[in-house]
Chain A
């Protein structure tokens, strides 16, 4: 097997894995957009906030310690306990649900029926707000997130492929875990949407707000539910990305990686987010490997992802899986 081909396959596989991670972030956007038509700019900040909260709870950090110390002249930092990962994830989820309730209660309840751009802008305000609160609550240092996920090269794959091709492929264990979690997550979401009462209500709201209201679905409840789900997805994305880089401000920028995925897959489709993620992941990695790095000087991934999505959009303006746009005068 020629080496170049082996490399290409390796890059392809890693692109798929990266795509799964992008898709995890994109899922959160899709959930909220589908149910309420809100393009949630704050999704990235939510991932950061969730990861910060998780680390804070695990390490027993005192929330707002810096602010408390500044106001009261005390010197508190930690409660002095360590919470096991699973319990901490549960507690973080509670925090995210409370957040979802607060967001619904104090922001979007007042903005029902507004134009999409105004809802979008409200999420901008929310992003600013949560970024500030997150920093005040947990401080802006880099925190190490260790929930026991494996990291590093998968030896089994490396050795097997070495036996086959004479070149061992690199697949990150964390990526494999991420892929499994993503599959579970999407299956779970689909099952939830198809087979539970709340799920059906959620789909009804996504289809038509007024029709859903008229058959007795509580919009309020559904929106809290959807924001909680998005919070959960944000937490998962935060854990995955945070495991790579530590939990820090830049985590909120992963939203930028999700945008081309979203536009490629369509804002309203959960499978679209996954397929879009895979296409973007593979596309940008292969382009960087075959064209970007050898001929264009590298670092082409960021813009190529958008270019790729743009090319797809020119042929399918609603994204691959988006709802067909029907325009009437």
Chain B
């Protein structure tokens, strides 16, 4: 009825190749952006920001980053936690060494440094493929965590090795530290999310992205048609690590404010982000958001239902959470193996024809 392309004429190539070719879709997208930017900041309090929006937004960036590598370029990586740690520690060192620079610069630079490290650890991907590569990236994960724990320079020689984000501002508004406002941290992260999604979307549908996908689908064939695997794989590692680094920097500075490398950026983090993109959908920007939402919101929702509404003991709820999340993953897979993004696509296809069956 409403969701269809009838009467929606494109008169130029750019119009034809835009991200949301259907007018209704486009308006829906603008509406989401409008709500996210102009409505939510006025409604949220500390709880909403710290328990739901910040983790969702930051994990979305990490998921977009990893999705570029795994979903678009086909290089399975389990080093996400380590790369987030690089972002976090780079951000910490920058924040403490150059207190006068703006937070945006710190975060972007942290992303850049992570990109460099990512390229370095991406080199084995030229030889090693598939699950073997996944396990090889674990070397990066364990080594980086060990390094940040081991070398006191990274945590400014503090007694315990924890790093704490000092107070820093952007345009005169507190972004990190304890005296922040909910709306400020939210908008700051949202800015990076929109930026990442925009860059990722446009990279993946451009020539760079098509090279990645050619490598993903069959690297030898891609090589034969003239894609340079060295450049394609390493750019994927660089871009992916850039986003992951940004998310690590935000995770440390804006969200938690203090982290310890082994606990915050351990192997479980790598797995968590990988789960997000698989559940959300490989090779889909929307999937990154959906997966992050699924794994961030579901436990919180289950906890609220179980503990706050039903009054069950907290440990039983926590165990049931695992059971429910596990069962849902399996059920989703059986229903739709290609993730939430595919469910979304199918739903949209159905809507286009609605109310007619064919």
Asked whether any CB of A lies within 8 Å of a CB of B in the complex, the reply is: yes
Q: Which of A104-122 contact B (CB under 8 A)?
A: 106-107, 110-111, 114-118, 120-122
Complex CA distance for A325 and B218, rounded to whole angstroms: 14
Residue of B nearest to A67 (CB): B316
Q: Give the interface of B toward A (CB within 8 A).
A: 76, 124, 127-132, 135-136, 138-139, 141-143, 145-146, 150, 218, 220-221, 224, 267, 271, 275, 278-279, 282, 312-313, 315-316, 319-330, 333-334, 337-338
Q: How far is the CB of B12 from chain A (nearest CB, A)?
A: 37
Other contacts beyond A263-B132, A303-B145: 8, CB < 8 A: A39-B131, A118-B337, A128-B326, A299-B146, A303-B143, A309-B136, A314-B128, A329-B224
Taking beta carbons and an 8 Å cutoff, which residues of A are in contact with B? 39, 66-67, 70, 106-107, 110-111, 114-118, 120-122, 124-133, 135-136, 140, 256, 259-260, 262-263, 267, 296-297, 299-300, 302-303, 306-307, 309-310, 313-314, 317-319, 325, 327-329
Contacts A110-B334, A125-B329 known; A329 to B139 CB distance under 8 Å? no
Q: Known contacts being A39-B131, A136-B316, is A306 close to B136, with CB within 8 Å?
A: yes
Contact A263 B136 (CB under 8 A): yes
Grouping DSSP codes into helix (H, G, I), strand (E, B) and loop, the B interface class, with mixed when no group exceeds half, is helix
Are B326 and A111 within 8 A (Cβ)? no
Our pick among B135, B316, B328 for the contact of A263 (Cβ within 8 Å) is: B135
Interface of A is mostly: helix
The answer on a CB contact under 8 Å between A306 and B330 is: no
Interfacial chain A residues near B338, Cβ < 8 Å: 118
Q: In whole angstroms, what is the CA distance A302 to B146 when docked?
A: 9
The answer to whether A317 and B128 touch (CB under 8 A), given A140-B315, A303-B143, is yes
Cross-chain contact B333 with A122 (CB below 8 angstroms): yes
Whose C-beta in chain B lies nearest to the C-beta of A124? B275
Complex CA gap A131/B321 in Å reads 10
| In the bound complex, CA of A299 to CA of B176 (Å) | 33
Q: In the complex the two chains form, what is the Cα distance from A111 to B330 in whole Å?
A: 10
Whether A300 touches B146, Cβ cut-off 8 Å, given contacts A114-B337, A125-B330, A313-B132, is: yes
Q: Which residues of A contact B138 (CB under 8 A)?
A: 259-260, 306
User: A327 to chain B: which residues have CB within 8 Å?
Assistant: 220
Q: Are A313 and B124 in touch, CB under 8 angstroms?
A: yes
Question: Which residues of chain A come closer than 8 Å to B316, judged between CB atoms?
Answer: 66-67, 70, 136
- B321–A132 touching, CB < 8 Å: yes
Q: Are A329 and B333 in contact (CB under 8 A)?
A: no
A116 lies within 8 A of B325 (CB):
no
Is A260 touching B76 in the complex (CB atoms < 8 A)? no
Name the CB-closest residue of B to A118.
Answer: B337
Complex-state Cα separation, A114 to B146, whole angstroms: 37
Q: Which 10 A-B pairs have the closest CB atoms?
A: A129-B326, A132-B322, A128-B326, A125-B329, A306-B139, A132-B323, A303-B142, A125-B330, A303-B143, A263-B135
Query: In the complex, A128 Cα to B324 Cα: how many Å?
Result: 8
Closest to B126 in A: A314
Q: Name the residue on A nearest B313 (C-beta).
A: A70
Cα distance, A296 to B275, chains bound together (Å): 34
